[in-house]
A and B are shown apart, each in its own frame.
Chain A
Amino acid sequence: MSFQTSKTSGVLVVDVDGQLIVGNRQDLKQRVLDELESGERKFLIDFANTGYIDSSGLGVLVSLSKKIREQGGELRLANLNEDLRTLFELTKLDTLFNISDSRDEALESF
């Protein structure tokens, strides 16, 4: 897994390439927490190029969402493919996150 960050319309966008799973999830978590620490408050994680996510990856997203909210910020998710949507629905995490079909839709909704 690798990820890139960019700033668009005041939103810190994180593109996740590959798998977000137990062996690498801490890298993403630490990067987002560093950005939160340095003052970023609006976060969008884009999964357009993500293969699969396991429960540890889901756990990192839950944890980050909580920490960002505690700082008065917001985390949104975009571009979940059909398999990832199924995963969020199975775990009912689709009720916990703001999920957009596209990056543009997510950016406009902040």
Chain B
Amino acid sequence: MPSRAGCSVSAPEPIEFVLDLPSDLRVIENVIVYLVARCQAYGFGGARLNLNFRVGVTEALANAMLYGNRRRPERRVRVEVALSTARVALRIADEGQGFDPARVPDPTAAENLSRPGGRGLFLIRKLMDAVEFNQAGNAVRLVLNREPPLRRPTGV
């Protein structure tokens, strides 16, 4: 709706939408570009968007394609997005068997530090404000608030 002179432009209404993706790692970069643009329209920016959102969502998509769907392109990754000026919530589901997120070792432990892999889930937990797996372990819900919680340093 066009704004009238003298009236302040109201905040955009919350929206929900769904992306249905193939298990193809090459699509992730463009998906992130698209989602970042959608979030920017709701006032997201700075490190919350460029670091927390981009890396956290990239990790979740990669996990779904690599470990959930075993890179089988016919298996889909469904991304449900709920976006408002307060927060963005995503539910990312794959068609795999799931896993136990409690059994992932700490990649910052001295004995794991020089391992090439194992940092994805750790980064998701560090960068997002809420992370919840379903019981089967093949869907994760991520929440990122537009403003950082006061207890955390900027960008983390």
Contacts and interface: CB of A to CB of B under 8 A. Distances in A.
| A, B bound | yes
13 contacts: A23-B25, A23-B28, A52-B58, A55-B120, A55-B122, A56-B62, A66-B114, A83-B50, A86-B156, A87-B51, A87-B123, A90-B127, A92-B108
Interface stretch (A34-42, A57-65, A99-107): A57-65
Contact of A83 (B47, B107, B113): B47
Contacts of B115: 62
A35 B47 CA distance: 34
Contacts of A52: 50-51, 54-55, 58
A17 to B, nearest CB: 13
B59 A55 contact: yes
Interface of B: 25-29, 47, 50-51, 54-55, 58-59, 62, 66, 107-108, 113-120, 122-123, 126-127, 155-156
B119 A91 contact: yes
A79 to B, nearest CB: 16
A58 B55 CA distance: 11
Q: Is the interface of A mostly helix, strand, loop or mixed?
A: helix
A22 B156 CA distance: 21
B126 A90 contact: yes
The 8 closest A-B pairs by CB, nearest first: A55-B119, A59-B116, A83-B51, A23-B25, A55-B120, A63-B116, A22-B62, A92-B108
